[in-house]
Amino acid sequence: MPRTPEDLRSTSDSSDPVSVSDTSDPVGGRRLRADARAKREAVLAAAVEVFAERGVDIALDEVARRAKVGIATLYRHFPTREALITGAYVREIGALCDGVEELLGEMAPDEALISWMQRFIGYVSGRPGMAQAVKAVVVATDSTAVQLSHVKVYAALEAMLEAGIEAGLFRSDITVDDVAGALSGFSLSVGSPGSKERADRLVRLLVDGLRYGAPTT
C-alpha cells in the first residue's frame, strides 16, 4: 500500500537506508563508497542528457558511453531501465526543489511560484516519455524514492505558498493539494507542438487565481 506523505517524511528523517542523500543510493538503498558514488553520479548525469536528447527508450549502452563507464557498471548501480529512469527523475526533481530557497531570495513569492512551476513543466516536456515512464514505475513498484521526491515537491510548493500568504499576495484558503494537482495536470498535458507555451500560460492564470481577493480567511 502506498505510504502517506507523513510516513515518507518520517522515513527520510530516520536512519532508514532508503533516504535520499549524497552518500546513499535512493533507488537501491545501498551505502556507497566515494568512487562508487562518483560513477553512479556520472551515470545519472549521462542518463539525464541522453533521455532529454533521445527519449527514455534509447539503448543504455549510449548512457554508459556518455558516462565513460562500462555497461556492467551501469547495471551494477541500476539493474533495470526503470531503476535508471527513477534515479534520473529523483536527481532532477531534487535539484529543482533545492532551488526554491534561492528563488524566494531573488523574487516575490508569486513570481517565484510561476518561475518554479514553469521550470518543472519544462523539465517534463524536455524529456520525452519521462512522465509516463515514472508514473509506470510508481504504479508497478510503489517506489519509495519517487514518492520521497513527491514529498519534496509538496514541501517546495508549500514554502512558496506560505511565503505568498504571509506577504499578502495569495489567498489564505488555498492548499498545496490544489496547486500540486494543477501542476500535475499541466505537466502531463505537454508534448504536442505549442503545449509547453500553453502550459506556461495556464501557470500564470493559476497564480492570478491564487492572488484574487487576497487575503481570504
- Least Cα distance to 204 among 111, 134, 133, 85 occurs for 111
Q: Beta-carbon neighbour count of residue 40 at 10 Å?
A: 24
Q: Which of 15-19, 76-80, 190-194 has the lowest mean pLDDT?
A: 15-19
Burial of 35 (0-12, 13-18, 19+ CB in 10 A): exposed
Q: Which residues contact 216 (CB under 8 A, 6 or more apart)?
A: 171, 172, 173
Task: Decide: 84 and 56 in contact? Cβ < 8 Å.
Answer: no
Q: Which of 91-105, 125-139, 168-182, 187-201 has the lowest mean pLDDT?
A: 125-139
Sign of CA dihedral 174, 176, 123, 94: positive
Percentage of the residues of the chain whose pLDDT score is greater than 70: 75
Q: What is the pTM of this model?
A: 0.73
- Least Cα distance to 176 among 197, 150, 199 occurs for 150
Q: In terms of pLDDT, which residue wins out, 185 or 166?
A: 166
The domain covering 18-211 belongs, at the CATH homologous superfamily level, to Tetracycline Repressor, domain 2 (1.10.357.10)
